[in-house]
């Protein structure tokens, strides 16, 4: 069947059928026209293909490589790596006959307790968007569609099917939609999944502003929009909003709803045709791609990539006295059940059945002779305090040179479906850390968690490695890091708070009575901590290395430039240590404006550089022009913020090594003119000045009274200049008439003359 006039060949029933899934995972085929079904699968950090089409298949899916979860991948800050991971997953999709991978997930991490934070990248939209775009390019390069999810503002699990996220326009556009915009413009995904929740009063699956105005018109999206599983409340409303595909299938329930809506005239056939055309274009394109020869899905190579990605995403939080890397001759006490039975991903729809699984104990055993290592479980599966196990762990730790202590969040603490209620590790893990640290000063804590945890024990141990949720290669990756085979280079993609009360959304989280107010506005993550001068537990961008990097110099392409041009930065860096290492260089922008309310600093660019000991190189970073743009509510658009900006270059958001100032030149902005614009704003136009100045002058004198001193007249002038234009009609008792008002609006080209 030809691609360009698909809907025309279908009967109405066939078209309606196509708009809802056939079962849990596929679309309807139309056999008589040779239109095939497509198969969708979770996502995001590996293929989770359910064995049957009518089952969710969590825990029983076809084995696939389990890469690190998004939270851990993001700590690599490595677009090239994300692309390779996407590519490997794309190949496995092809191998398993999957056409759409339900990922990446890239909602911002608004709050550390968010149950699905491990499935998302970062609290920063630039980092999230860039990594997602790279991942999408990797997946789609293999002829498989990526599905960007969950559009939009899906930041909590509490009441996730109904909650109304209330977000002001500026944070919405600068943060919560910005990550999606970058991913969609730069990654060009073929599909997008709508979120369960409401956004400013409307369900995301049923919001024409979100799906048509923002996604398609503004961002130029040209694929299909599908619902999250069960996210549609009214199929007819969703259809009018532009939702192509409702998932999963529901045995014809939605078909009946659409037929009735047609009969009642709430929708018409042309609405259906438009969505069917868009849907079929993607379906046919994916089938064409599926017919092309595919790359082999090489299990061994993908396992190796999973190890590489896990190592790149691990973050060395602390390393006092260079406890790490472990000296070859040391006797190790490996403590904690996670060392043998690793937790490597989060719970819920993203849970992949791995092709194999590497544990830290096994990986260390391949490196350390049996007489120089011992193991103790430390805690039972449920993480409760178990004195017998703790005593055994203490004994082994005391007898060793170093204790490697594996603790973290168990499955029951962190999953899709619920938010956490606190930041604590299980009590048995905390008791174990304290007990082992008391007898072994060289204790390395290895932390498995997809989100921040509290660390009341931070000062009791010299070294902490965040293993994250590292996927099936986690054990081997950790062994490479601990042994020094790989120098850590991961950096935190979110801020770790000292306590919940310090978090930006503390007062509003998770909302009440169906509403989640986003009262912190623009101040999400480090934007909050840096502006409020709150000391975090670990700052955004933090992560140590086994070597040391010196930031030698910073040059900017042009110290003064127009806001619409990209800007080049050159940073000279030296590896001043004795080991090869990789540094993530971060650029933050700080605006010196008092016109706009701004966070203290915002991530403007980042790049990775690998250096041999003693090597010096210059890294070139390009700042996108959007760095200097902010959302203007009255214009409903981004505008450039001119003036002086400081660019800060460093190794974390709190470890700035170099800075420079630049001047951003912007063309003068025409005022936004409508009946509510002030007299002062209208007077910026020559005809406005001519008409209004004499009027204001007369009125100010009249209203001040004949005996008024000059400051009395001046006061009235100020009041009148600040008046919304339409109020002059009343203030002048009609001397400035409604007709004159309308004429001014028409002359300024204000549409309909009525905007507020
Ligand atoms: C999740 C999606 C997932 C879908 C299919 C939903 O519950 O929110 O992320 O892709 O299920 O499993």
Residue 648 and residue 565 share a domain: yes
What would the mean pLDDT of 583-608 be, rounded to a whole number?
A: 95
| Reduced 3-state DSSP string for 548-569 | CEEEEEEEECCCEEECCCCEEE
Residue 340 and residue 464 share a domain: yes
The answer to the question of residue 344 being in a domain is yes
What would the mean pLDDT of 141-166 be, rounded to a whole number?
A: 97
The answer to the question of residue 297 being in a domain is no
Least confident window among 208-222, 575-589, 622-636: 622-636
Concatenated DSSP letters of 187-225:
H--SEEEE-SSEETTEEGGG-HIIIIIIIIIIT---SEE
Q: Kindly report, residue by residue over 569-590, the tens digit of the pLDDT.
A: 999 999 999 999 999 999 999 9
Residue 695: exposed, middle, or buried by beta-carbon count in 10 A (0-12, 13-18, 19+)? middle
Nearest one of 658, 635, 629 to 126, comparing CA atoms: 629
Residue 344 and residue 202 share a domain: no
Q: Tell me the C-alpha distance between 179 and 173, whole Å.
A: 9
Residue 684 and residue 632 share a domain: no
Residue 225 and residue 336 share a domain: no
Query: Domain of 231: which CATH number?
Result: 3.20.20.300
The answer to the question of residue 651 being in a domain is yes
Q: Which of 630, 665, 700 is the last residue of a domain?
A: 665
Residue 351 and residue 211 share a domain: no
Inter-axis angle of helices 269-291 and 253-263, nearest 10: 140
Of these residues, 228, 419, 530, 674, which one is catalytic? 228
The answer to the question of residue 525 being in a domain is no
Residue 449 and residue 310 share a domain: yes
pLDDT band at 479 (very low <50, low <70, confident <90, very high): very high
The answer to the question of residue 30 being in a domain is no
Domain count within the chain? 4
What would the mean pLDDT of 91-97 be, rounded to a whole number?
A: 97
Q: Kindly report, residue by residue over 383-428, the tens digit of the pLDDT.
A: 999 999 999 999 999 999 999 999 999 999 999 999 999 999 999 9
Residues 6+ apart with CB under 8 A from 617: 572, 573, 609, 611
Q: What is the mean pLDDT of the chain?
A: 96
Residue to substitute in 57, 58, 102 for testing ligand 1 pocket (most ligand atoms within 8 angstroms of CB)? 102
* Ligand 1 site, residue 120, Cβ cutoff 6 A: no
pLDDT band at 200 (very low <50, low <70, confident <90, very high): very high
Residue 374 and residue 229 share a domain: no
Q: Tell me the C-alpha distance between 177 and 447, whole Å.
A: 31
Active site residue 508: no
Residue 718, classed as helix, strand or coil, is helix
Residue 447 and residue 390 share a domain: yes
Q: Is the dihedral of CA 589, 594, 598, 600 positive or negative?
A: positive
* Ligand 1 site, residue 42, Cβ cutoff 6 A: yes
Nearest one of 41, 162, 51 to 103, comparing CA atoms: 41
Q: Which helix (H) or strand (E) holds 690?
A: helix 686-704
Nearest one of 210, 188, 126 to 525, comparing CA atoms: 126
* Ligand 1 site, residue 119, Cβ cutoff 6 A: no
Nearest Cα residue to atom 6 of ligand 1: 229
Both structure tokens of 195? 């979120």
Both structure tokens of 610? 């690998």
Cα 676–682–686 angle (5° rounding)?
Answer: 160
Least confident window among 3-12, 239-248, 512-521, 710-719: 3-12
Share of the chain above pLDDT 90, in %: 94
Residue 658 and residue 683 share a domain: no
Concatenated DSSP letters of 75-118:
TT--HHHHHHHHHHHHHHHHHHT--EEE--B-----STT-TTGG
| Helix, strand, coil percentages in the chain from 3-state DSSP, rounded to 5 | 35, 20, 45
The answer to the question of residue 198 being in a domain is yes
Instruction: Quote the longest CA-to-CA distance of the chain.
Output: 102
Question: For position 564, what pLDDT does the model report?
Answer: 86
The answer to the question of residue 251 being in a domain is no
Question: For position 702, what pLDDT does the model report?
Answer: 95
What's the 569 CA to ligand 1 centre distance in angstroms? 41
What's the 192 CA to ligand 1 centre distance in angstroms? 12
Q: Kindly report, residue by residue over 8-27, the tens digit of the pLDDT.
A: 899 999 999 999 999 999 99
Nearest one of 105, 104, 113, 66 to 451, comparing CA atoms: 113
Q: Which residue has the tokens 């060009």?
A: 188
Question: Residue 608 to residues 318, 605, 617, 621: CA-CA distances in angstroms?
Answer: 21, 11, 12, 10
Residues written for the chain: 756
Residue 690 and residue 626 share a domain: no
pTM confidence score:
0.95
Q: What range defines the domain where residue 110 resides?
A: 38-245+270-290
What would the mean pLDDT of 718-731 be, rounded to a whole number?
A: 96
Question: For position 594, what pLDDT does the model report?
Answer: 77
Q: Is the dihedral of CA 210, 213, 218, 220 positive or negative?
A: positive
pLDDT band at 754 (very low <50, low <70, confident <90, very high): very low
Q: Tell me the C-alpha distance between 309 and 418, whole Å.
A: 27
The answer to the question of residue 469 being in a domain is yes
Q: Which of 510, 525, 558 is the last residue of a domain?
A: 510
Residue 269 pLDDT greater than 80, yes or no = yes
Q: Which of 635, 665, 695 is the last residue of a domain?
A: 665
Residue 190 and residue 130 share a domain: yes
Residue 4 pLDDT greater than 70, yes or no = no
**Cβ–Cβ < 8 Å for 639, 630:** yes
Both structure tokens of 380? 């039972």
**Cβ–Cβ < 8 Å for 120, 108:** yes
Residue to substitute in 105, 160, 349 for testing ligand 1 pocket (most ligand atoms within 8 angstroms of CB)? 349
Q: Tell me the C-alpha distance between 538 and 328, whole Å.
A: 30
In sequence order, what E strands does 439-548 have? 443-448, 463-468, 515-517
For 447, phi then psi, to 5°, come to -105, 125
Question: For position 551, what pLDDT does the model report?
Answer: 98
């Amino acid at each position: 069947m030809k691609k360009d006039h698909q809907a025309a060949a279908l009967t109405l029933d066939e078209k309606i059928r196509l708009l809802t899934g056939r079962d849990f995972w596929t679309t309807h085929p139309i056999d008589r026209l040779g239109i095939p079904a497509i198969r969708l699968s979770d996502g995001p950090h590996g293929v989770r293909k359910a064995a049957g089409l009518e089952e969710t298949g969590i825990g029983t899916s076809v084995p696939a490589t389990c890469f690190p979860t998004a939270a851990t991948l993001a700590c690599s800050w490595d677009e090239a790596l994300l692309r390779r991971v996407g590519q490997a997953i794309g190949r496995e999709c092809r191998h398993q006959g999957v056409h759409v991978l339900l990922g990446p997930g890239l909602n911002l991490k608004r709050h550390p307790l968010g149950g699905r934070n491990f499935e998302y990248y970062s609290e920063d939209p630039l980092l999230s968007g860039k990594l997602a775009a790279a991942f999408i390019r990797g997946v789609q390069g293999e002829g498989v569609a990526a599905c960007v999810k969950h559009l939009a503002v899906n930041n909590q699990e509490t009441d996730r099917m109904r909650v109304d996220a209330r977000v002001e326009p500026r944070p919405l556009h600068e943060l919560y939609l910005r990550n999606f915009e970058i991913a969609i413009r730069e990654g060009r995904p073929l599909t997008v999944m709508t979120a369960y929740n409401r956004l400013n009063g409307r369900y995301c699956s049923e919001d024409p502003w979100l799906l048509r105005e923002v996604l398609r018109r503004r961002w130029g999206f040209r694929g299909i929009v599908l619902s999250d599983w069960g996210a549609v409340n009214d199929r007819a409303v969703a259809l009018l909003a532009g939702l192509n595909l409702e998932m999963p299938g529901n045995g014809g329930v939605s078909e009946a709803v659409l037929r009735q809506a047609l009969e009642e005239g709430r929708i018409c056939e042309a609405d259906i045709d438009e969505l069917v055309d868009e849907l079929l274009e993607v379906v046919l394109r994916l089938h064409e791609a599926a017919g092309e020869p595919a790359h082999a899905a090489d299990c061994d190579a993908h396992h190796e990539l999973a190890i590489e990605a896990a190592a790149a995403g691990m973050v060395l939080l602390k390393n006092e006295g260079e406890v790490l890397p472990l000296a070859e001759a040391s006797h190790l006490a490996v403590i904690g059940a996670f060392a043998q039975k690793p937790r490597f991903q989060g719970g819920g729809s993203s849970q992949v059945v791995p092709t194999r699984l590497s544990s830290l104990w096994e990986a260390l055993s391949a490196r350390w002779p049996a007489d120089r290592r011992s193991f103790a479980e430390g805690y039972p599966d449920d993480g409760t305090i178990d004195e017998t196990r703790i005593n055994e762990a203490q004994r082994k730790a005391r007898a060793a040179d170093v204790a490697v202590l594996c603790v973290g969040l168990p499955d029951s603490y962190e999953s899709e479906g619920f938010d956490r209620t606190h930041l604590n590790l299980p009590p048995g893990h905390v008791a174990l850390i304290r007990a082992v640290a008391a007898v072994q000063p060289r204790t390395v804590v290895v932390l498995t968690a997809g989100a921040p945890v509290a660390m009341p024990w931070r000062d009791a141990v010299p070294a902490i490695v965040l293993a994250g949720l590292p996927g099936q290669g986690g054990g081997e990756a950790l062994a490479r890091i601990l042994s020094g085979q790989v120098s850590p280079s991961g950096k935190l993609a979110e801020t770790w708070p000292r306590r919940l009360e310090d978090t930006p959304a503390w007062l509003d989280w998770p909302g009440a009575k169906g509403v989640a107010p986003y009262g912190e506005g623009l101040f999400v993550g480090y934007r909050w901590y840096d502006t409020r001068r709150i000391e975090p537990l670990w700052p955004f961008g933090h992560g140590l290395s086994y070597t040391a990097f010196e930031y030698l110099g910073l040059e900017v392409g042009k110290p003064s430039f127009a806001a619409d041009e990209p800007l080049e930065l050159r940073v000279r860096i030296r590896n001043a240590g004795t080991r090869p290492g990789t540094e993530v260089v971060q650029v933050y922008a700080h605006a010196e404006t008092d016109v706009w309310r701004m966070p203290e600093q915002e991530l403007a660019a980042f790049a990775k550089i690998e250096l041999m000991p003693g090597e010096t190189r210059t890294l070139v970073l390009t700042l996108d022009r959007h760095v200097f743009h902010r959302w203007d509510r009255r214009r409903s658009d981004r505008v450039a913020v001119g003036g002086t900006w400081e660019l800060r270059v460093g190794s974390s958001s709190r470890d700035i090594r170099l800075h420079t100032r630049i001047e951003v030149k912007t063309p003068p902005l025409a005022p936004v003119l409508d009946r509510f614009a002030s007299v002062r704003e209208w007077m910026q136009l020559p005809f406005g000045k001519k008409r209004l100045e004499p009027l204001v002058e007369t009125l100010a004198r009249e209203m001040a009274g004949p005996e008024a001193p000059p400051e009395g007249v001046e006061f009235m002038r100020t009041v009148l200049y600040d008046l919304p234009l339409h109020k002059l009609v009343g203030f002048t008792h009609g001397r400035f008439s409604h007709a004159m008002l309308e004429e001014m609006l028409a002359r300024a080209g204000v549409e309909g003359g009525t905007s507020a």
